[in-house]
Amino acid sequence: MRITTHAGPTRRITIEFLYLDRSRCTRCQQTDAGLEEALAEVARELGETGIEVDVRKIHVRTEEQARTLGFVSSPTIRIDGRDIAPDIHETACASCSCGCETEGVACRVWTYQGQEYDAPPKDLIVDAIRQAVSNPGSGPVETVGPQTDVPDNLKRFFAAKRRADASAACCG
């Protein structure tokens, strides 16, 4: 998605939405929907100020890809390489744990204004976009790039996915 309506010089911000399973995980689905709502809310003001937005939706399919992307929890939203929520907490995700090989999968919980949410509130995303626009290079947490290992939760997810794919009898 590109949002541009300003005739003058533009500046670009990149928003990445990284996720494990948008087809089944309600947290990933709700995060995607919240991102779309937030973009719709700020589209006009971004266009008027000459900000071009590149949105990249990245389905993280392997441990190696997670390692390369510096991906530590699903779902994640980054703006210009910075996670919009510095504190990463996870809880058991019922929609990702189908009762067989993926039992015990945890997905991200978002904290905003002292409350926890299963998906980032639209206002959290809007605030993060506006902060990135008004203070380029600032933001909660900078991505450090490729990492040497992935968190145990992601290792469990990918191991379970490999087993499920091999058996082809689990989780529909």
pLDDT for 130-139, tens place per residue?
A: 999 988 765 5
pTM as predicted: 0.84
pLDDT tens for the chain, residues 1 to 172: 555 444 555 789 999 999 999 998 999 999 999 999 999 999 999 988 899 999 999 999 999 999 999 999 999 999 999 999 978 899 988 887 654 445 567 899 999 999 999 999 999 999 999 999 988 765 555 554 566 788 888 988 888 888 777 665 444 4
Residues 103 and 137: their CA atoms lie apart, in Å, by 39
Name the helix (H) or strand (E) containing 57. strand 51-59
- Look at residue 76 and give its three-state secondary structure: strand
For residue 77, what are the CA distances in angstroms to 104, 117, 124? Answer: 23, 14, 11
Name the helix (H) or strand (E) containing 130. helix 122-134
Sheet holding 82-83, edge to edge: 51-59, 11-19, 76-79, 82-83, 141-142
Residues 20 and 60: their CA atoms lie apart, in Å, by 5
168: alpha, beta or left? (left if phi > 0; alpha if psi -120 to 50): left
* Residue among 81, 52, 61, 77 at smallest CA distance from 21: 61
* Residue ranges of domains in the chain, CATH in brackets: 11-167 (3.40.30)
51-79 per-position pLDDT tens digit: 999 999 999 999 999 999 999 999 999 99
Token pair belonging to 168: 């082809």
109: DSSP letter = E
Residues 28 and 143: their CA atoms lie apart, in Å, by 20
Token pair belonging to 9: 């010089």
